[in-house]
Structures are given as C-alpha cells and as structure tokens.
C-alpha cells in the first residue's frame, strides 16, 4: 500500500493520477506490478470552485494546494516545508520552518518584511526616506540574545520598501534588516 495522503480535498482526476504516479515512482518493488487499486477514504463534501459567470480566462496558475501536493508526491513529505510566524519580537527569531503536512494556526504578527537579511547592512540616510516608525523592540535578555532597537519602515530612492533599525540611543545611519515585497 502506498498512501498519497492529501492535505486538502481534490476532485481533478488528472491531478489525483499525477499525485499517485509521483508516490509510486518513489517505491521499489520486488516483482512486476499487475494491478493498481485506488482507495479513497474520508471523502469531504464537495465545494465548487469560485468562478465568475463570464470569466473566459484559462487558469494558468497552479493553486497552492495542488503545487504543494505535487511537491510532496515527488519529493516526499519531509522535503516540503513552509514558514510560520512565531511569538518572538526579535525579527531573526520570529519565523520558524514547519512541515506542510501539519495544519498551522495563523499567528498574530506585526507587519514584517518577507525577506530578512542574514546580517544587517549599513543603509545610508541620504538614500532613504523614513515612512513610519520608530517601533521599539527590546527582547531576548532571557536567552542571551538581548536586542534593543528602534525599527523604521523606509523607502529607498528607487521606491523599494525596507525595514531598518538603529540601536536604542544611537544616532547616524540605519542598518538594513529586511525587504518588503
């Protein structure tokens, strides 16, 4: 038995076949296969797709659920991960990898950049305009990762939005910590 184990409802036969094929490609069998039986358990209620009455556009994008299932079928459950917000004020500790095979409850979080730099970089003040802030973050004293920073939403001369900070009480240039999409 080779479980496909979908995480969400799927009724497209070609998609189900592709997912089953992806799982079967990962299995080593000792003798020739003569038959394959597909068994569906725990069938959810049908929920029709949301479409416009006169929408003639062909769907060219793959829904996230189908992409996730394809990747899990081809690469294995452990190889497909996502990000989830974590209750920590420090930006570098506010995200955590999680398995996409387990449901995630959304966490309440402040607006944070989608791309956080590994190491903050100097950001010249003349190349930016402060849009919002400061947002003071003081945290981590209990685990040796003490931070005391004032964060700003800044816009570069080319219009990019970034997240930058300077340590509490310091003046001068900001340190770029992340980019918004």
Alpha-carbon torsion (68, 70, 73, 74), positive or negative: negative
Q: What pLDDT score does 152 carry?
A: 93
Q: What is the pLDDT, as a whole number, of residue 56? A: 58
In 3-state terms, what secondary structure has residue 163? strand
Segment 170-173 long-range contacts (CB within 8 Å, at least 24 positions apart): 172/125, 173/122, 173/123, 173/124, 173/125
Residue with tokens 């060219």: 60
Q: Which residue has the higher pLDDT, 27 or 161?
A: 161
Encoding tokens for residue 93? 């500790």
Q: How far apart are CA 148 and CA 23, in angstroms?
A: 49
Tens of pLDDT, residues 125-141: 777 889 988 999 888 88
Q: How confident is the model at residue 177 (pLDDT cuts 50, 70, 90)?
A: very high
| Rounded distance between C-alpha atoms, residue 65 and residue 56, angstroms | 23
- 167 vs 111, more confident: 167
62-96 residue pLDDT tens: 677 788 888 888 888 888 887 777 777 777 777 77
Whole-model pTM over 0.85: no
Bridge partners of residue 83, in order along the sequence: 97
Q: Could you tell me the residue ranges of all domains in the chain?
A: 1-44+60-79, 115-179
pLDDT at residue number 164: 94
Give the model's pLDDT for residue 108: 55
Answer yes or no: are the C-beta atoms of 2 and 28 closer than 8 Å. Answer: no
């Amino acid at each position: 038995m080779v479980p496909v184990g979908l995480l969400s409802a799927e009724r497209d036969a070609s998609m189900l076949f592709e997912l089953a094929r992806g799982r079967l490609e990962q299995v080593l069998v000792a003798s020739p296969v003569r038959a394959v039986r597909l068994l569906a358990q725990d069938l959810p209620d049908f929920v029709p797709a949301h479409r416009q009455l006169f929408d003639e556009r062909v769907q060219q994008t793959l829904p996230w659920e189908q992409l996730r299932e394809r990747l899990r079928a081809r690469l294995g459950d452990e190889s497909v991960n996502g990000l989830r917000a974590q209750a920590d004020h420090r930006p570098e500790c506010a995200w955590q990898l999680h398995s996409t095979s387990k449901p995630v409850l959304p966490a309440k979080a402040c607006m944070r950049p989608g791309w956080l730099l590994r190491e903050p970089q100097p950001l010249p003040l003349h190349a930016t305009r402060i849009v919002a802030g400061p947002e003071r973050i003081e945290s981590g004293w209990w685990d040796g990762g003490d931070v005391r920073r004032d964060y700003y939403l800044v816009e570069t001369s080319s219009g990019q939005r970034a997240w930058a900070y300077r340590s509490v009480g310091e003046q001068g240039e900001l340190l770029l910590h992340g980019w918004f999409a």
